[in-house]
Amino acid sequence: MANALPQPGTIAPKFTALDDQGRKFTLASHKGSAVVLYFYPKSDTPGCTTEACEFRDATPAITKKKAIVVGVSHDPVARQARFKTKYGLPFLILADEDRSICEAYGVWQEKSMYGRKYMGVARTTFLIDEKGRIAKVFEKVKPKGHAAEVLAAIEAL
């Protein structure tokens, strides 16, 4: 059974993970900034590439609002690094190989395609405020136009 999604107003689950360069990243080290934590199924696939490139293009506007973007999938560090380099992504991508972050945030869920059920990452974004609380949850994200939707939510913080 999948964990429930953290809800707005609750403290964001803390975690440590390796980024696309193999360095340790902790959510706690970014308290004081808003964090756009977006979960996606698999690096370098069509929908995930669309979403990442839109966040890439929106990053200057997001950083002006004192926020950072962090992508998460369960791909290994080397795949994350290739994805980041291939598309010139200016933000961190975390390798959640053991799915502990995905499980803590409730995004490791049962999915279905062509009648086959399997476990995978539900495309979901969490906007975490500067105090470390969940400000907004975007579920069942459609990649196209999502970065603009997140930027509007950051402006409303």
> Catalytic positions, please?
48
Measured between alpha carbons, how far is 86 from 132 in angstroms, rounded to an integer? Answer: 31
CA distance 20 to 109: 24
Residue whose token pair is 């470390």: 132
Contacts of 76 (CB under 8 A, 6+ apart): 95, 97
Whole-angstrom Cα Rg for the chain: 14
Residue type, 45: T
* Dihedral (CA of 88, 66, 76, 116) sign: negative
